[in-house]
Amino acid sequence: MPIRPMAEEDLPQVLAIEKASFTTPWGRWAFLVELKPPGYAFVYEEEGRILGYAVMRIVEDEGHLMNLSVAPPWRKRGIGSDLLRFCIEFCLHKGVSSLWLEVRESNEAAISLYQKMGFAVKGRRKSYYQDTGEDALLMGLSLPRKILQEAKVKAVRTMGPLCILELSLQSEIPFEPGQFVMIEAPGRPLMRPLSIFGLEKKMLKLLLRPVGTGTRALVEVHTGQTLRVLLPLGKGYPMPQGRQKAWLLAGGMGIASLFPLALKLSRKGIPVRLLWGARNSSWFPAPLLWQLTEKSISLELITEDGSMGRKGLITEVLPKEWENATVYACGPKEMMKRILSIIPPHVKVYVSLEERMACGVGACQACVLSGRGGNKLVCRDGPVFEREEIGDSLS
């Protein structure tokens, strides 16, 4: 993410953009004041060049976006949207309940951006702009309140290419399999979404594969370290209706979402068959396999190299008959597309989808899915969807 806190040495570039953008630009002192709380200022930077910035204030639980601009040659490239999403996410994790701003009535492009991000016109400030006497529209965004907790690291358990991060929460929180958390990665500006692998009493477990900078930072934490966690988020998996049996189809890290579902279904006495596919046998740690088989879950492993279980892809070993079955799937996009094309339309199928997201609660509008009946947000309307809801959005 090329967005970082603004520093005093950034001001020459910031002031140049400010002068090119506004008829009554801010001066150096106006920016300096906002570099420390209650002010917060951020710049969008690429290769040492500042392309845009945002400035806001937070007082108690209310935020006020005071300035946002992008250098004229770099407009219409999504930089303004990225800055605004960042500010929304920053406010959310500061416990802000509403974010406000003023915009010129004639600035249709800015108004359109704010409305796209969920802002609504709440009022009008007469003759607000002194240079022209133009009115300002007062726009506001209500931020949903989820539970933001300070969680302490209890352990990081490495199992081949996978790791389980165990965190102790401040209070007990109910959850449904399929829901997720937004968690702070040390040294990273934004939280990241992870499926809830387990949550019992105050112990939260997250399954990770450390491949990027964020996930690597999470597995390098030390015992007793505190991380911020926002949870529980999204919608989980519905239970099968009637006397249906459950088929669970996990591709790679899709097991993180389906593992707690398998355990819950087993506790309820619902027959479970779990197909778990991965590249090789290192993806199948013995402790996880033992937990599943101990619960009398029918488990079939598939590896691309044939090092464990059946050789091939999970989509190549699907059954021909799906009578009295409810299917739950989570995995790579291509796997999901293939599964939906193979399983007959009359079979109930639930899929858990992944999208890039900044806030996790629908405020930033970053995880839009074009489904049947209009756009949906993966974080708020999902991540679990019935196949009829998503239409051809995976195509």
Per-residue pLDDT of 254-287, as tens digits, reads: 999 999 999 999 999 999 999 999 999 999 999 9
Residue 145: predicted pLDDT: 62
Per-residue pLDDT of 155-183, as tens digits, reads: 999 999 999 999 999 988 889 999 999 99
Q: Tell me whether strands 245-251 and 298-303 are parallel, antiparallel or unpaired.
A: unpaired
Active-site pick, 102, 220, 355, 389 = 102
Average pLDDT over residues 363-386: 83
Per-residue pLDDT of 197-232, as tens digits, reads: 999 989 999 999 999 888 999 999 999 999 989 888
Residue 370: predicted pLDDT: 80
- C-alpha separations of 24 from 50, 52, 106, 257, 299 in Å: 21, 17, 16, 52, 67
Beta bridge partners of 205: 166, 198
Structural domains in the chain, CATH included, are 3-142 (3.40.630.30), 147-233 (2.40.30.10), 245-352 (3.40.50.80)
Nearest Cα neighbor of 314 from 330, 325, 298, 326 is 330
Range with lowest mean pLDDT among 141-150, 211-220, 249-258, 337-346: 141-150
Residue 163: predicted pLDDT: 97
Cα gap 391→395, rounded to integer Å: 9
Residue labelled with tokens 């506001």: 140
Question: pTM higher than 0.85, yes or no?
Answer: no
Active-site pick, 40, 44, 53, 114 = 114
Average pLDDT over residues 320-328: 91
Beta bridge partners of 385: 351
Instruction: Return mean pLDDT, the chain.
Output: 92
Q: Which residues of 328-338 are buried (b: 16+ CB within 10 A; e: fewer)?
A: bbbbeeebbbb
Q: How confident is the model at residue 305 (pLDDT cuts 50, 70, 90)?
A: very high
Evaluate whether 134 touches 106 at the Cβ level (below 8 Å): yes
Q: Tell me whether strands 325-330 and 348-352 are parallel, antiparallel or unpaired.
A: parallel
Average pLDDT over residues 34-62: 95
Residue labelled with tokens 């399999």: 177
Cα gap 82→51, rounded to integer Å: 12
Does residue 143 carry a pLDDT above 90? Answer: no
Q: Which amino acid is at 304?
A: E
Nearest Cα neighbor of 233 from 351, 90, 380 is 380
Cα gap 270→370, rounded to integer Å: 33
HEC profile for 50-110? EEEEEEEEEECCEEEEEEEEECHHHCCCCHHHHHHHHHHHHHHHCCCCEEEEEEECCCHHH
Residue 72: predicted pLDDT: 96
Kindly state the tokens that stand for 116: 């796209």
Percentage of the chain beyond pLDDT 90 is 72
Cα gap 11→9, rounded to integer Å: 6
Does residue 356 carry a pLDDT above 90? Answer: no
Residue 146: predicted pLDDT: 64
Average pLDDT over residues 26-30: 97
DSSP 3-state assignment of 181? Answer: strand
Residue labelled with tokens 């112990």: 203
Distance, first Cα to last Cα, the chain: 28
Q: Does the active-site annotation cover 89?
A: no
Does residue 362 carry a pLDDT above 80? Answer: no
Average pLDDT over residues 32-54: 96
**How many Cα neighbours within 13 Å face the side chain of 236?**
24
Q: Does the active-site annotation cover 53?
A: no
